[in-house]
Amino acid sequence: MSMPSMVTSEATRKPGLAHAVLALGGFAIGTTEFAAMSFLPAFSSALGVDVPTGGHAISAYALGVVAGAPVLAIVGAHLNRRLLLVLLLAWFGLGNCLSAMAPGFDALIALRFVTAIPHGAYFGIAVLVATGMVPEQRRGVAIGRVLLGLTLATTIGAPVANLISQWLGWRWGFGALGLLSFMAAALILFVIPAQARVAGASALQELQALRRPQVWLSLVIGAIGFGGLFAVYTYLASTLELVTKAPADAIPIVLAIFGVGMTCGNLAAPHLARRGPLPAVGMLLAWSALALALYPLAVNHVWSVAAAVFMIGLGGGLGAVLQMRFMDVAGHAQGLAASLNHAAFNVANALGPYLGGLAIGAGYGWASTGWVGCGLALGGLVFWALALAYERRAVKFSQLR
């Protein structure tokens, strides 16, 4: 018996092993996304731009995710999912290695966009593979396990990458992330069970999801409501350095505290969603609005900003409950639904830094990103209320019939 077959059989009997490998791929991608924000002061200085302008590289990455997630989910609907996951991570790893060699800022922006294209599709396909290994009632657990890689990236990956960038430079940071992506791709090839083609899967079937109003409302909720988290996190390292006056070795610790908050929020999300994902979405958006409003009041001291950052991180559980929401409202278009969550997540990743950068550039100060974030979370709550009203009206209509 060949080695891949032996490992595949084990993964079939014990889905936790396969989920851990899928989470490792998510860890590589998530670390790249969040570490790049902590690299921002370093690569901005090295490439001759100010920090708000450097934030455009973060937005370029986010736009790459938005462009790539639905397109690759639709194009890859009929492909072998294990092979697709391997190809997506190999693409991602190559993009990071090339980013490490970017000769200038314009080249870095282009490379960050190209690198990001597989991001959303990877998570979308990984979630489908993970949930396909467990009974329906454990769907939330499987999703949480895959997304745990993303939240652990903020706890461990991004702070470690930040230390690498401090010791060796930001280029080495991107290079290390490229190697991690290649390693995750190899493990998926050997551990994840072979994936049969889904019967009836097609690009046309996936596109049917876009005819559903609740899909669009979920997309807008994530795109706006999640923006607050990114408005703060993108400029957190600069705020700690310039406003809090934190020592350099404290910055990775605060970044890790943010990650601990996100991890706790992600672990709590399946429990919050026991009555359905939509009520949990509303609770997490309200919590985020409160935490983001407290952030500007906390930035003058390391201990208080660390507490505020932990609270903001807890709101990151929104990702897991929105993932469940998308899969509930998208019908048979599960591949597109799973990837749209990450498209929304990265519209937020583009919108938050952009608006935060505008506030900083207009002279409102680094802490103003918290007020920007609070406004975005409240905006997400408005569309959540519309989704709730639409759902209640649909239920009432069905009862009348």
**Could you give the count of Cα atoms lying within 13 Å of 253 in the half-sphere of its Cβ?**
10
The total of structural domains in the chain comes to: 1
Q: Give the integer Cα–Cα distance in Å for 105 and 176.
A: 20
Q: What is the DSSP string of 71-130?
A: HHHHHGGGS-HHHHHHHHHHHHHHHHHHHTT--SHHHHHHHHHHHHTTHHHHHHHHHHHH
Which residue is listed with tokens 């702070």?
A: 159
Q: Give the integer Cα–Cα distance in Å for 163 and 48.
A: 22
Angle of helix 368-400 relative to helix 334-361, nearest 10 degrees, comes to 150
Under DSSP, the state recorded for 386 is H
- 6 Cβ partners below 8 Å, 6+ apart? none
- Per-residue pLDDT at 3: 35
- Per-residue pLDDT at 308: 95
Nearest residue to 236 via CA among 209, 213, 210, 257: 257
**Could you give the count of Cα atoms lying within 13 Å of 186 in the half-sphere of its Cβ?**
7
Long-range CB pairs of 202-206, under 8 A, 24+ apart, other chains included: 202/77, 202/78, 203/74, 203/75, 203/77, 203/78, 205/77, 205/332, 205/333, 206/73, 206/74, 206/77, 206/333, 206/335, 206/336
Residues 240 and 246 sit within 8 Å (Cβ to Cβ):
yes
Q: Give the integer Cα–Cα distance in Å for 307 and 258.
A: 9
Domain of 329, CATH number, reads: 1.20.1250.20
Residue 31 in any domain: the answer is: yes
Residue 5 in any domain: the answer is: no
Range of the domain at 369: 10-190+203-400
- Per-residue pLDDT at 2: 35
Residue 197 in any domain: the answer is: no
Q: What is the pTM of this model?
A: 0.74
Q: Give the integer Cα–Cα distance in Å for 56 and 47.
A: 13
Residue 81 in any domain: the answer is: yes
Residues 312 and 292 sit within 8 Å (Cβ to Cβ):
yes
Alpha helices in 153-212 (DSSP H): 158-168, 170-191, 203-207
- Per-residue pLDDT at 7: 38
Residue 253 in any domain: the answer is: yes
Q: Across the 401 residues of the chain, what is the mean pLDDT of every consecutive 10-residue run?
A: 38 70 90 80 84 81 82 72 90 94 91 90 83 72 77 79 81 90 92 64 61 85 91 87 86 85 83 84 94 94 93 89 80 69 80 88 91 95 92 67 58
Residue 1 in any domain: the answer is: no
Residue 196 in any domain: the answer is: no
- Per-residue pLDDT at 40: 80
Which residue is listed with tokens 């900003």?
A: 305
CA angle 254, 348, 71 (to 5 degrees): 125
Residues 265 and 317 sit within 8 Å (Cβ to Cβ):
yes
Residue 256 in any domain: the answer is: yes
Q: Give the integer Cα–Cα distance in Å for 323 and 247.
A: 37
Residues 265 and 284 sit within 8 Å (Cβ to Cβ):
yes
Residues 384 and 225 sit within 8 Å (Cβ to Cβ):
yes
Under DSSP, the state recorded for 157 is I
- 91 Cβ partners below 8 Å, 6+ apart? 117, 118
